[in-house]
């Protein structure tokens, strides 16, 4: 499935969008990709299928955001904590990431049409090298687009992000780029 689904909204989606548009519209929304395993268990499907269907719902949600004029979306996709899951599940999630970032690279015309800049945040060296390369290609391919932004948090934790930010700020002070 495409990252940004094309096509018209259903009548119910248009109705809901019009109600939402009547009020103040956020400029930035964030989604935590959580509950895919519980969904799979509830629906009696394999975990991997639950994760895949979670991505499909994300693609639908991104279309809604685009339609509503929400310019920035952050998706918390894969926490560092997720590496503690079974090898089978982590490998399945990495395969899903490979598929989806490869698909993203195939959709460059669609991304250009909508002006979507992809940014990936997290401790990327923790990821397999081939996924790091796919991510780098996607980020580079869309770096000049600025109509809307899709931030994908991958291999992240808030603690890790804060400590990295503090390290970078300390480096900036050492280099004379920042005032203490």
Domains annotated on the chain, with CATH: 11-175 (3.40.1180.10)
* pLDDT for the residue numbered 6: 54
Q: Which residue shows structure tokens 């598929």?
A: 99
Is 96 a residue whose pLDDT tops 90?
Answer: no
Q: 34-43 pLDDT, tens per residue? A: 766 666 677 7
Is 92 a residue whose pLDDT tops 50?
Answer: yes
Q: Give the pLDDT mean for 152-170.
A: 86
End-to-end CA distance of the chain: 48
pLDDT band at 107 (very low <50, low <70, confident <90, very high): confident
* pLDDT for the residue numbered 77: 87
Where is pLDDT greater, at 147 or 60? 147
Percent of the chain with pLDDT over 90: 35
Q: Which residue shows structure tokens 């899951």?
A: 85
Helix, strand, coil percentages, rounded to 5, for the chain: 60, 15, 25
Q: What are phi and psi of 141, to 5 degrees?
A: -65, -25
pLDDT band at 58 (very low <50, low <70, confident <90, very high): confident
User: Whole-angstrom Cα distance, residue 80 to residue 73?
Assistant: 20
Percent of the chain with pLDDT over 70: 89
User: Whole-angstrom Cα distance, residue 143 to residue 167?
Assistant: 25
Please report, for residues 3, 31, 162, the alpha-carbon distance to residue 57 in angstroms, rounded to integers and kept in the order given.
10, 11, 30
Short-list 128, 132, 122, 131, CA closest to 152: 122
- pTM of this prediction? 0.77
* pLDDT for the residue numbered 135: 95
Burial class of residue 179, CB neighbours in 10 A (0-12, 13-18, 19+): exposed
Q: Give the pLDDT mean for 91-105.
A: 88
The residues, ordered by sequence, that sit 6+ positions from 8 with a Cβ below 8 Å of its Cβ are none
Where is pLDDT greater, at 132 or 106? 132
Where is pLDDT greater, at 56 or 178? 178
**How many helices (DSSP H) and strands (DSSP E) are in the chain?**
7, 4
Is 74 a residue whose pLDDT tops 70?
Answer: yes
* pLDDT for the residue numbered 56: 76
């Amino acid at each position: 499935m495409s990252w940004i689904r094309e096509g018209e909204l259903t009548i119910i989606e248009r109705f809901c969008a019009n109600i939402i548009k009547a009020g103040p519209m956020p400029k930035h929304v964030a989604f935590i990709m959580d509950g895919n395993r519980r969904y799979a268990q509830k629906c009696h499907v394999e975990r991997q299928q639950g994760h895949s269907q979670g991505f499909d719902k994300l693609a639908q949600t991104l279309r809604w955001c685009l339609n509503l004029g929400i310019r920035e979306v952050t998706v918390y996709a894969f926490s560092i904590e997720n590496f503690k899951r079974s090898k089978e599940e982590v490998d399945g999630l990495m395969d899903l990431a490979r598929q989806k970032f490869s698909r993203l690279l195939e959709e460059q015309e669609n991304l250009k049409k909508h002006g979507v800049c992809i940014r990936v945040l997290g401790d990327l060296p923790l990821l397999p090298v081939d996924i790091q390369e796919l991510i780098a290609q996607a980020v580079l391919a869309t770096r000049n687009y600025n109509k809307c932004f899709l931030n994908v948090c991958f291999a992240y934790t808030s603690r890790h992000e804060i400590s990295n930010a503090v390290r970078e700020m300390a480096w900036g002070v050492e280099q004379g780029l920042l005032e203490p």
